[in-house]
Structure 1
Amino acid sequence: MSRHSSKLAAALLSTAVLTGVGGAGLAQAQPAVPPALAALFDSGSAALGSSTEAPAPDAPRLASIDNFRDVAGTGAGYATADGGHVNKGAFYRANAIVPNEADMATLTALGLSTVYDLRTDDEVGKKPDVMPPGVTYKRIPILSGNIDEMLGKIEKPDDARKMMQDMNVAFVSGTVEKAKFAELFTELANTDGGGQVFHCTAGKDRTGWTSAVLLTLAGVDQKTIMDDYLLTNEYVKDSVAKSIAGLKAAFGDKYVNYIPLVTVEESFLQAGLDEMAATYGTIDKYLTDGLGLSTETIAKLKAKLVD
């Protein structure tokens, strides 16, 4: 590994900015977000989903787990193609689960059944989850490829974007990734009890793909799915500002080359969705032919997602 990629990996690890790499604590400085990033942080909408009926309670906003949210969205839950809504309280997505005292009490009150940690051993070692009482913890690490080698090739922002796009393509086509996602979706389908949570380090890439697959299976339209994906930029904008400060301290003006690694952009998820469409055609074919899920498992997932 080159000296440059070693320095970059260390900076990313120290600021916890790259979901696939993991990290320790965020940089302590809290500067204003650079103006060029304002558009990124304004992506998505927190008001997606509405209903004239009394909706189920929205997922709470957690200060210590800032990307924690209900896969179904807010209000009545995201609308589906058949006129229904995605069931709230069934599946939650998150970043690393290290709650403060108040957030621990909130998580406990949700009556969760299981947490699936998608991080690598290094990521978990730096920031292990802390579980609410009675919640089952399961590890399904999802990551492959030489991250240091990929980081060492970044010389401009578009290189970083290409890295994130390739990561999402690998979620669909990578042998290791497919096996792990198959395990995850099988567990989500077959585990009974309260709500289930899946997460990685930042809750944006592996977690974002998982959520997009579930929403696609539920029959949510692609624009809503993309808007939901981009909500990460809104939920974690304070953490991203800290991460960018760490990158700027480490790399000076070159920090802009790495900004795509700490946010989400439409092209990242779209690369995975395009790969799925080109290779399998439909979500069901991706789940059956790509991941090897049985029709019974897919039916169980659908039943949990929509009534």
Structure 2
Amino acid sequence: MSHRSRTAGVLVISSAALVPSIGGIGVAQADPTLPASVTALLDSGSAALGSSAPAPDAPRLASIDNFRDVAGTGPGYTGLAGRHVNKGLFYRANAIVPNDADLATLTGLKLSTVFDLRTDYEVTKKPDVLPGGVTYTRLPIGAGDYTTVLSQIKSVDDSRAFMQAMNRQFVTGEDVRTQFGTMLTDMATATGPVVFHCTGGKDRTGWTSYLLLSIAGVDSKTIMDDYLLTNEYTKDSIAASLATLHRIFGDAAANMAPLVGVEPSFLQAGIDQLTADYGTVDRYLTEGLKLSPQAILALKAKLLG
């Protein structure tokens, strides 16, 4: 386990621990021309950016099935000015409860920091198991009484509305924005590869990935396609969660199916709220999350290889 932790207050916005897997885009992207200050950082051989050769693809982990690189696979997603997003620096995941083989693989990635967005309840059920020396930072965002939430769902549309509301609260919730802002600020100054995660690695984690890829200037379709990869990576977990729901709720479990995966309308609801409240991702970052220009600049420099 890790040697240091920091825990912020629990934020009650949604039921992200329902079962193990529960947890273009209308936003103006950054200008396609890199600011001179970013170009200078990229061309200066900053140690944070790594070498010019792309890092290997993120390993597929049997016991952490939604573990993947924010930058994608191959050369990495294309961002600002045609630059590929730098791989091997930002990983996203579901709960980090590795088997022995996967723990050894994680150790080989030389992670510096893990950001855990889960509530106390979620962490109690599945505490992270991390390589030695990794800094563990808790920034809880989430859940209320999940039993009550499930009992109130009477249709598939109810489930979709619940997931859409969760994503809108990533924009409207003041305390939630504080947590996201703290995480991104800490990411900007982290000295090595980091992992951020929640329980299913799809909602709180999906929003974080959306923000990082937006900062890098990745196009809207690619961002949405990346968001939807949860359904592919975790298809076996989704099937198991649906089976669990059916055992508990019988035929009514069919109404809860949207809760265990992702759909375009979930992320889009958050994006639409961001557009309505802030107009652009940049304004959400600076006015909503209170990120400094220096932090945003550092994140762009890390992300763009």
Q: What TM-score do you get using the length of structure 1 for normalisation? A: 0.82
Aligned to 2:59: 60
Structure 2: distance between partners of 1:145 and 1:190:
32
Deviations 1:233-275 (A, max 9, x none): 0000011111111111112211110001000000000001111
User: Against the structure 1 CA distance between its residues 81 and 296, is the aligned structure 2 distance closer, same or farther, given a 3 Å change threshold?
Assistant: closer
Aligned to 2:22: 18
Letter in 2 for 1:161: R
Aligned to 2:183: 184
Structure 1: distance between partners of 2:251 and 2:257:
11
1:162 aligns with 2:161: yes
Residue aligned with 2:81, SS: coil
Q: C-alpha displacement at 1:144, in angstroms?
A: 5.9
Q: What TM-score do you get using the length of structure 2 for normalisation? A: 0.82
Aligned to 1:305: 303
Structure 2: distance between partners of 1:243 and 1:302:
37
Structure 2: distance between partners of 1:148 and 1:165:
19
Q: Which protein, 1 or 2, shows the higher relative CO under an 8 Å CA cutoff with sep ≥ 6?
A: 2
Structure 2: distance between partners of 1:299 and 1:217:
9
**Is contact 1:144–1:177 with CA below 8 Å preserved after alignment?**
no
Q: C-alpha displacement at 1:179, in angstroms?
A: 1.0
Structure 2: distance between partners of 1:248 and 1:198:
30
Aligned to 1:86: 85
**Is contact 1:144–1:176 with CA below 8 Å preserved after alignment?**
no
Structure 1: distance between partners of 2:80 and 2:120:
39
Letter in 1 for 2:256: Y
Q: C-alpha displacement at 1:153, in angstroms?
A: 2.6
Structure 2: distance between partners of 1:281 and 1:145:
30
Task: Point out where structure 1 has 5 or more consecutive residues left out of the alignment.
Answer: 1-8, 20-52
Q: C-alpha displacement at 1:176, in angstroms?
A: 1.7
**Is contact 2:94–2:199 with CA below 8 Å preserved after alignment?**
yes
Aligned to 2:258: 260
Task: Point out where structure 2 has 5 or more consecutive residues left out of the alignment.
Answer: 1-14, 24-51
1:243 aligns with 2:241: yes
**Is contact 1:164–1:268 with CA below 8 Å preserved after alignment?**
yes
Q: C-alpha displacement at 1:56, in angstroms?
A: 2.2
**Alignment RMSD:** 1.6
1:201 aligns with 2:199: yes
Count of aligned pairs: 262
Which runs of structure 1 show a deviation greater than 2 angstroms over 4 or more consecutive aligned residues? 53-56, 144-153
Structure 1: distance between partners of 2:169 and 2:142:
9
Deviations 1:272-301 (A, max 9, x none): 111111211111100001111111111111
Structure 2: distance between partners of 1:232 and 1:255:
20
1:77 aligns with 2:76: yes
**Is contact 1:119–1:200 with CA below 8 Å preserved after alignment?**
yes
